[in-house]
């Protein structure tokens, strides 16, 4: 039964991916991509990786989908140009054959992996009690590979900076993104009023339980960001201008706390980003809390894009 | 194993789209399809032991967040290119504006 389910799921993912590539319109392609992300999240559940499934559904399908839809609405025309730049059928056949070879090579490699499988699962689980967290993925993200996660947190800040720097000079310090009129009736207006109170609680809950169960700062932060975007698109919440100090602090708070705790490790533990025994969990939760805020702020700002309207 | 082959197929599909699609928006879409395939290969490798290995899973979460940031930046670049030149592709032989 589960085999049939897996095969159907796999075919659906590949089918939707192919459709996303082949369909002519940009809008259906983006919808196809969102469906692909959600199906992929189901695959992650089947692989027992619920943390990844949550991230894929929230970030890979949801937030990326919103970003792409914003871009589709703004990119107009260019059909003749696109047709002129389309590769000729022989070129496409050659590309298809070469890409097929790459895929085949990967498939063969996947079917001939070494046995027994190397695994760090036992190692990762053994030291969890020292950290006081129950979710091994949080243990990896915050302790064993803490430096990776710190760099990733900094990547988000730089991505926001890079996006802001696309603004023309005269718009620097202005409000990011388009202005949405206030929706006083209709489904969007209702959703934007009813959903955020629930969504904010769910987002904080997902971030909070990340220490012991599937969830964490990225998943929770994305849900919080989605609520902010919903209220913004419905005209109920105005984004602050990029010159706003509060906004800037919200974006950098997480990485700063992360670096601060990392440096503290020199004084109270064995070095950068190491936690003193018995006091690891409070520090991890402190970083997670600050990071949840920064992830949410960064995602809203990345979706909104460069500053466009004078404050 | 089914999903291992699925991941390989997604990488091939995404790569094909990245190479053959002229429109930048569609290239970004294809690149994300490719990324999904690569992450899936990670997930399948992580699942092979008796218990799921948390290390590749954590790497995939990191990767997803970075992929999102990269997509956001790529889309803003595409929009800015479109605003300045009106171009939706980076074809070399188009007539200068």
Fold classification of B2-85 is: Helix Hairpins (1.10.287)
Tokens describing residue A195: 């959903």
Which residues in chain A have their CB less than 8 angstroms from residue B16's CB?
A: 21, 95-96, 99
Write out chain A's pLDDT in tens, 311 residues: 688 999 999 999 999 999 999 998 889 999 999 999 999 999 999 988 899 999 999 998 989 999 999 889 888 767 777 778 888 889 999 999 999 999 999 999 988 888 777 788 888 888 888 787 888 888 888 888 888 899 999 999 999 999 999 888 888 888 998 888 887 888 888 889 999 999 999 999 999 998 888 888 999 999 999 999 999 999 888 899 998 999 999 999 999 999 999 999 898 888 888 888 778 888 888 999 999 999 999 999 999 999 987 76
Q: Where are the domains of chain A?
A: 1-86, 120-311
Chain length of chain A:
311
Q: Which of A75, A155, A163 sits opposite B82 (nearest CB)?
A: A75
Distance in angstroms (rounded) separating the CA atoms of residues B97 and B94: 9
Instruction: Determine the Cα–Cα distance for residues B10 and B16; give it in Å rounded to an integer.
Output: 10
Q: Where are the domains of chain B?
A: 2-85
Output the pTM of the full model.
0.90
Which residue, among A278, A297, A306, has the nearest Cα to A130 in the 3D structure?
A: A278
The Cα-based distances of A199 to A47, A50, A70, A155 in angstroms read 27, 19, 22, 26
Report strand pairing: A175-176 vs A307-309: antiparallel
Gap between the Cα atoms of B21 and B42, Å rounded: 26
Q: Which residues contact A176 (CB under 8 A, 6 or more apart)?
A: A164, A239, A241, A242, A301, A304, A305, A306, A307, A308
B93 contacts on A by Cβ (under 8 Å): 84
Q: Which of A21, A82, A306 sits opposite B17 (nearest CB)?
A: A21
Contact B5 A124 (CB under 8 A): no
Q: What confidence score (pLDDT) does residue A77 get?
A: 65
- Which residue in chain A has the smallest CA separation from B59? A141
Distance from the Cα of B95 to chain A's closest Cα (Å) equals: 10
Per-residue tokens: B27: 């290239």
| Residue among A18, A67, A120 whose CB faces B13 most closely | A18
Contacts of B32 in chain A (CB under 8 A): 33, 60, 64
| Separation of alpha carbons A28 and A19, rounded Å | 9
Task: Name the residue with tokens 């960001």.
Answer: A225
- Residue A287: helix, strand or coil by DSSP? helix
Residues of A in contact with B20 (CB under 8 A): 86-87, 91-92, 95-96
Local confidence band at B97 (pLDDT 50, 70, 90 cut-offs):
very low
The residues, ordered by sequence, that sit 6+ positions from A198 with a Cβ below 8 Å of its Cβ are: none
């Amino acid at each position: 039964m589960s085999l049939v389910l897996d095969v159907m799921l796999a075919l659906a993912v590949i089918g939707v991916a192919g459709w996303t590539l082949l369909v002519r319109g940009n809008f259906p392609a983006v919808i196809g991509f969102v469906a692909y992300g959600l199906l992929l999240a189901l695959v992650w559940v089947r692989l027992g990786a619920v943390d990844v499934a949550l991230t894929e559904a929230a970030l890979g399908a949801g937030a990326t989908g919103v970003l792409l839809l914003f871009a589709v609405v703004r990119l107009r025309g260019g059909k003749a140009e696109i047709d002129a730049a389309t590769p000729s059928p022989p070129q496409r056949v050659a590309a298809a054959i070469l890409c097929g070879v790459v895929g085949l090579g990967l498939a063969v490699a996947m079917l001939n992996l070494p046995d027994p499988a190397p695994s760090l699962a036992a190692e990762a689980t053994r030291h969890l009690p020292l950290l006081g967290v129950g979710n091994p993925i949080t243990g990896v993200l915050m302790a064993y590979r803490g430096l990776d996660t710190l760099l990733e947190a900094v990547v988000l800040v730089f991505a926001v900076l890079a996006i802001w720097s696309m603004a023309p000079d005269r718009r620097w310090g202005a409000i990011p993104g388009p202005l949405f009129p206030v929706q006083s009736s209709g489904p969007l207006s209702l959703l934007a009023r009813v959903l955020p109170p629930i969504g904010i609680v769910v987002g904080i809950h997902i971030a909070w339980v990340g220490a012991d169960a599937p969830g964490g700062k990225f998943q929770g932060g994305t849900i919080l960001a989605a609520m902010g975007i919903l209220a913004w698109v419905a005209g109920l919440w105005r984004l602050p201008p990029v010159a706003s100090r509060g906004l800037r602090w919200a974006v950098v708070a997480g990485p700063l706390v992360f670096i601060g705790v990392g440096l503290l490790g020199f004084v109270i533990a064995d070095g950068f980003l190491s936690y003193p025994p018995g006091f690891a969990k409070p520090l991890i939760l402190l970083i997670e809390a600050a990071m949840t805020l920064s992830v949410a702020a960064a995602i809203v700002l990345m979706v909104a894009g460069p500053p466009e309207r004078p404050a | 194993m089914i999903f291992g082959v699925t991941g390989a197929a997604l990488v091939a599909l995404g790569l094909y789209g990245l190479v053959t699609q002229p429109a930048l928006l569609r290239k970004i879409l294809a690149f994300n399809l490719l990324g999904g395939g690569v992450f899936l290969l990670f997930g399948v490798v992580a699942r092979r032991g008796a218990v799921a290995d948390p290390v590749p899973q954590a790497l995939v979460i990191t990767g997803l967040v970075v992929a999102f940031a990269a997509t956001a930046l790529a889309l803003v670049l595409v929009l800015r290119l479109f605003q300045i030149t009106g171009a939706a592709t980076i074809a070399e032989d188009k007539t200068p504006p």
